[in-house]
């Protein structure tokens, strides 16, 4: 079976540097005797700056928001690897909590967060499938269009 890093490479993807906390929290924390890892909300960043800003359905298209969600997933995996040391310990994705900056008329929150969900399933197969929430909010940190928090199970 190919390693997660090999699957990332085959998809033309690389994990970014592990994200630093932007406020008073930790990027990831292990609980339940180290079997569960909660990764704090990830926003789509590159080189310490937001990839995009704005609300989905206005300044940001659905496709751009899906791409931002994919970046959030890559950052989530990077934060996980920083917490557990070896990404091959990952056994599955338990849950995603997705937030989409939009106004009250936008209704495609699930399609936005599919950007992350589809990538995780592509990389991990059946163990990448997960429970999920996808909700709209009026704003997110730094003006980004998407934020996603993750719960992973590891051994």
pLDDT tens sequence across 52-102: 999 999 999 999 999 999 999 999 999 999 999 999 999 999 999 999 999
Tell me the CATH number for domain 4-154.
3.30.1330.40
CA distance 46 to 75: 10
Q: Is pLDDT above 80 for 2?
A: no
> Helices 62-84 and 109-124 sit at what angle, rounded to 10 degrees?
40
The mean pLDDT value for 122-144 works out to 97
Domain ranges of the chain: 4-154
Two tokens at 20? Answer: 């630093």
Number of H helices, E strands in the chain: 3, 7
Torsion, Cα of 10, 84, 66, 52 (10° steps): -110
Going from the C-alpha of 76 to that of each of 15, 21, 142, the distances in angstroms are: 9, 12, 18
Phi, psi angles (nearest 5°) of residue 112: -65, -50
For 106, half-sphere exposure in the C-beta direction (CA atoms, 13 angstrom radius) is 25
- Mean pLDDT score of the chain, rounded to an integer? 95
For 151, half-sphere exposure in the C-beta direction (CA atoms, 13 angstrom radius) is 12
Instruction: Residue 152: name the closest of 65, 39, 4 by CA.
Output: 39
């Amino acid at each position: 079976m190919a390693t997660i890093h090999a699957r990332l490479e085959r998809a033309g993807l690389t994990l970014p540097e592990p994200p630093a906390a932007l406020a008073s929290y930790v990027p990831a924390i292990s609980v339940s005797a180290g079997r569960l890892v909660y990764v704090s909300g990830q926003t789509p960043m590159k080189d310490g700056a937001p990839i995009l800003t704005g609300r989905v359905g206005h300044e940001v298209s659905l496709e751009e928001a899906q791409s931002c969600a994919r970046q959030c997933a890559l950052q989530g995996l990077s934060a996980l690897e920083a917490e557990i040391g070896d990404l091959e310990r990952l056994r599955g994705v338990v849950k995603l909590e997705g937030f989409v900056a939009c106004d009250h008329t936008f209704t495609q929150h699930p399609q936005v967060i599919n950007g992350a969900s589809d990538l995780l399933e592509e990389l991990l197969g059946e163990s990448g499938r997960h429970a999920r929430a996808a909700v709209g909010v009026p704003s997110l940190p730094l003006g980004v269009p998407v934020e996603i928090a993750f719960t992973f199970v590891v051994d």
